[in-house]
Structure 1
């Protein structure tokens, strides 16, 4: 999934932002906004906790592939988001949302739905046309797309380093997409790119909101769940989940989405923010290895090199981007 840093407790969660800005609140989506009790622990311990988010997020493509074998896309998404929202709500110490809070945060809530629902649904549909490994790597063009969009809108300063970033990412994408040029699987490529674009647009919006952007994750996931269920009843036939698919959808909602969010939040608050920010870019490579380990992806030189270049492009772009 797009769970690559899709929940961030501080500005360090976005590897696209400079070290000097990482002590402030994240312009990208925030986790649950819960007030955690301060527990004295060593910084290294909390860094390890934060690093656990990367393999949890990397499990999303495998879980999505398994669930999509037996569950319609929107039915899977609706249950998945409901489980994640419930888990985060139960772990939150904040007061329940009031109608006034929801009205004030309506646009933010809708933008969460854009990033989460639209992004993930496009990813799931792309799996019908291209391999999961290819789709996941293409989706991870989103950090570079973010830089281009934010720069065009005057939210970030562009530098020669970012030109190198874009070139690396595009070269990687060509290597990943290359095999599909002959087979005509452009629908899958476009859907995967659209998934990354949806997430990038969402993050650009959060950057535009600034460091005081309201917390809208729980409400946004709830809206995503309800929307997915409505669309499911309109365009899909309800399928009784098998024990395996039911386990997968609950596991995905609790762990990659909710627990991954909590680990990332704790790590960013108390651990090494720079290490965690850079580690987030390992997610697509880890997910490819997981897919291959379970026989759901074939490792090719093109995919591995392409993924490495895309990750490298993201890392290069992360070093000197600064908000205006």
Structure 2
């Protein structure tokens, strides 16, 4: 079960690696409008399952703290992320926001039954260095005039780490509840869009396909997979491996012609892959031992 959960958590990371490509292909849809559209699409698989198996609707009856955590995690993260990007340069804001995998690994020490080892921290730090190598290709410069944006990015990192760690403590809560989180996030994003943005619809069939793809994968199935993964998998390994998302995203952009190869990508690949393997050392050793025993 633990290995299965970890692999499903990895599936979420793989889907998030498509986020940049699909976003680039979706045209000029404003962020909150995009959120409203894609989270609505992301809730559809869950709604279809509930319509086919109405007895599962009772699984949505959860304590208020579960709903507050889920909605604050999904909507809060995206609201803070967009706020950070509006008030600080994208590179610096992205780097700060991407502290969440490290925060998950370190914070996991507070969870019942978890023990934080040196290789978990070392693996997460190696992943962070790899991420810095990728996103800082044009340099990094922290300017005090962007403190609001930096602060929002830091809160963004803490919000997703807190959501992931608290989700682990709700391990008896069915993943069906993510459907409700997606719907609530869509509605709140729609409110923000109406208040802050001008509506811009996708201009072509290709852009609409990208929006649907975003809703079905990075902003849909990925959150169901993440929920299952952090509840049932090795959260420390999943946290460290999360740094693979920006690397895989860059590789996807390379393969599709949206980016050019460089030595930075090679170095980042070694750091992130090595870090993930280091963090997963114990799990790999256990699996090897099981295979030999069989």
Residues 288-318 of structure 1: per-residue CA shift (max 9 Å, x gap)? 1112334444444335423542453344334
Q: CA deviation at 1:141?
A: 4.6
The answer to whether the Cα contact below 8 Å between 2:40 and 2:186 also exists between their aligned partners in 1 is yes
SS at the partner of 2:108? helix
TM-score by length of 2: 0.69
Provide the rounded CA distance (Å) in 2 between the counterparts of 1:155 and 1:86. 35
Q: CA deviation at 1:127?
A: 6.1
Q: Which has the higher helix share?
A: 2
SS at the partner of 2:279? helix
The answer to whether the Cα contact below 8 Å between 1:141 and 1:310 also exists between their aligned partners in 2 is no
Which of 167, 170, 180 is the matching residue for 1:206? 167
Provide the rounded CA distance (Å) in 2 between the counterparts of 1:126 and 1:303. 25
Q: CA deviation at 1:58?
A: 2.1
The answer to whether the Cα contact below 8 Å between 1:64 and 1:124 also exists between their aligned partners in 2 is no
User: What RMSD, in angstroms, separates the aligned Cα atoms of the two structures?
Assistant: 4.3
SS at the partner of 2:139? helix
Moved more, 214-223 or 190-199: 190-199
Which of 14, 22, 41 is the matching residue for 1:63? 22
Residues 207-258 of structure 1: per-residue CA shift (max 9 Å, x gap)? 223x313431101101111111111112222223323433321221124444
Which of 152, 172, 188 is the matching residue for 1:227? 188
SS at the partner of 2:189? helix
TM-score by length of 1: 0.63
Which of 59, 77, 83 is the matching residue for 2:41? 83
Provide the rounded CA distance (Å) in 2 between the counterparts of 1:283 and 1:174. 13
Where does structure 1 lack aligned partners over 5 or more consecutive residues? 1-9, 16-21, 29-49
Tell me the matched-pair count. Answer: 267
Where does structure 2 lack aligned partners over 5 or more consecutive residues? 284-294
Provide the rounded CA distance (Å) in 2 between the counterparts of 1:189 and 1:309. 25
The answer to whether the Cα contact below 8 Å between 2:91 and 2:140 also exists between their aligned partners in 1 is no
Q: CA deviation at 1:62?
A: 1.4
CA 1:253–1:174: 2 relative to 1, 3 Å: closer
